[in-house]
Amino acid sequence: MQKSFFNIGFFLLLICLFMVLTGCFNEREPKKPDENTSWITPTEPNILLDNLRKAVSTLDLNNYKRCFESEKFRFTADQTIAANNLGLFSNWTWDTENQYFNNLKVSASPLNANNNLNLINSRIINFSPDSLEFTSDYSLSLYHQDTSFASVNFSGLLSFQMKRNRQNEWQIVVWQDNKTKPTPCWTELRQHFFAP
């Protein structure tokens, strides 16, 4: 009986020693979420714009989709490029936008850590407390591996119609793109990656 008690005690001592030596009881700091892909509830228009910048920079499809009002979203392409691509942009919806962005994500380059969206000379026109128009010049660097499309820098003028939804979150309802420089614009990026 005493020998059995000794064996159990020795066994428990070995288990405790093993757990202490392997660090089972060491406290670890919880892993912080990746700041580049984190979503912040867009209770203000500037938060929505930050979410969009992060989603584009990291090619995060889920967060990108959350920036748009899925039922009513429409993209209006640059007029000159749309005129040269009859039918492609005539009914560009939320589903079309997601298909283009997913295709872009599939073609992502290892350099995509250098992706960057800058909004410059921004202007806001408030239509109501729940509706506004945001206009801004943009420069976009987006790295991909599609050798048939060499462009990685894009620029132009964008205009968003933004609305607050029932959950008090801002979303983009209409996106209009305009080419303003010799460099390609966002319409050309969509044109290529919608059906590469």
Q: What value does the mean pLDDT take over residues 160-172?
A: 97
Above 70 in pLDDT, residue 36?
no
Highest CATH level, class, for 45-194:
alpha beta
pLDDT at 16 over 90: no
> What distance in Å separates the CA atoms of residue 77 and residue 81, rounded to the nearest whole number?
7
**Percent of the chain whose pLDDT exceeds 70:** 81
* pLDDT tens digit sequence for 83-114: 988 789 998 999 999 999 999 999 988 888 89
**98 or 16: whose pLDDT is higher?**
98
pLDDT value at residue 28: 44
Supply the pLDDT for residue 195.
74
Model confidence at 3: pLDDT above 90 = no
Confidence check: pLDDT of 24 > 70:
no
Q: What is the pLDDT of residue 35?
A: 46
| Domain range summary for the chain, segments of one domain joined by + | 45-194
pTM recorded for the entire structure? 0.79
Question: What mean pLDDT, rounded, does the chain reach?
Answer: 86
Answer yes or no: is pLDDT of 130 > 70: yes
Percent of the chain predicted with pLDDT > 90: 71
CA–CA separation, 144 and 100 (whole Å): 13
